[in-house]
Amino acid sequence: LSAASWTCVAGAGAACPAAGTGAIAASVDLASGASVTFTLTATATGAGSITNTATVTAPAGVNDPTANNTASDVTVVAPTADLRISKTDGVSTVTQGGTLTYTIVVTNDGPSAVTGATVSDPLPAALSDATWTCAPGAGSACPASGTGGINASVDLTAGGSVTFTLTATVLGTGSITNTATVTAPAGTNDPLGNNSASDLTTVQQPDLALVKTSSGAFIVGLTGNFTLTVENRGAVPTASTITVVD
């Protein structure tokens, strides 16, 4: 516990200090049947459980049976870890049939370490043949590699991170939105505002065009010519051989 502050309210026939900071070490006056009430507020800085004990001691010369002079409270503190994730493939466009390489970084901003957080990246249908690797930072752990979408358990120290690198082939058209998430293990408090990251990439396609012209009027028995001009007017080359049929 840290950053403690407290107040005290005295009942009729009693007296106590009005307020203080830190632990309580106060002198109080109590008439027969009177009481004082302390209210102490503090910040929990560690996980596990907190046992907090308070004691009242009679002044010298006063006979006081001590069986009820101490009281304790036990509180279980759930670990708290602010897990966040980022994701990028470093490009805004890709060619159909090309390759995308995503970098996914999962970081634990603490204050508690986590064991068994889940990193998930189910791939959209437009991506295939995916493989991935993972490199943990000092003190953290993750699977070394895998195939397909990511569904991995990771351990993260406070301030630690792991980095996934996922490579896949682009099959689809239009645009590809790929989303990765990190989920804290059960029993760990985690603010959820930064637990998901998405990357949008536009798939460029070829635009083929064919123009056909002749050499002019044809004369019976003489040779005439046709000219066929095939163009790719798109922003990218085709991924396979073009067939022209006339």
Give the residue among 51, 108, 105, 112 at the shortest CA–CA distance from 76: 51
Measure the CA–CA gap between 85 and 82, rounded to whole angstroms.
10
Q: Which strands sit side by side in the sheet containing 114-121, from one edge to the other?
A: 93-95, 196-204, 174-183, 114-121, 150-156
Whole-angstrom CA distances from 21 to 2, 42, 50, 72, 178 are 10, 10, 19, 20, 51
Asked, as a colleague might, if the bond just before 111 is cis with ω within 30 of 0, I would say yes
pLDDT digits (tens, 9 = 90+) for 144-184: 999 999 999 999 999 999 999 999 999 878 899 999 999 99
Question: Poorest-confidence range of 70-74, 87-91, 151-155, 241-245?
Answer: 241-245
What is the Cα–Cα distance from 236 to 146, expressed in whole angstroms? 31
Q: What are the pLDDT digits (tens) for 7-17?
A: 999 999 999 99
Distances (CA, A) of 149 to 38, 89, 116, 199, 201: 56, 15, 18, 15, 17
Average pLDDT, the chain: 93
pLDDT digits (tens, 9 = 90+) for 48-75: 789 999 999 999 999 998 889 999 999 9
User: What pLDDT does residue 235 have?
Assistant: 64
Considering the entire predicted model, what is its pTM? 0.68
pLDDT at 40: 98
% of the chain at pLDDT higher than 70 = 98
Give the whole-angstrom CA distance, residue 89 versus residue 123: 14
β 2-10/36-43 pair status: antiparallel
Model pLDDT, residue 185: 95
- Return the ∠ at Cα 92 (arms to 88 and 94), rounded to 5°: 105
3: its two tokens: 């950053």
Residue 239 has pLDDT above 70, yes or no: no
**Predicted pLDDT of residue 240:** 64
Span 180-206, mean pLDDT? 92
Which DSSP category does 187 fall into?
T
Q: What is the pLDDT of residue 229?
A: 94
E runs forming strands in the chain: 2-10, 14-15, 19-21, 29-30, 36-43, 48-55, 70-77, 81-88, 93-95, 99-111, 114-121, 127-136, 145-147, 150-156, 161-170, 174-183, 196-204, 208-214, 226-232
In this structure, are residues 103 and 88 in contact, taking their beta carbons and an 8 Å threshold? yes
76 vs 241: which has the higher pLDDT: 76
Confidence bin at 236 (pLDDT 50/70/90) = low
**Residue 210 structure tokens:** 């064919």
Give the pLDDT confidence score for residue 45 in this predicted structure: 79
Lowest pLDDT segment from 32-41, 73-82, 180-189, 233-242 = 233-242
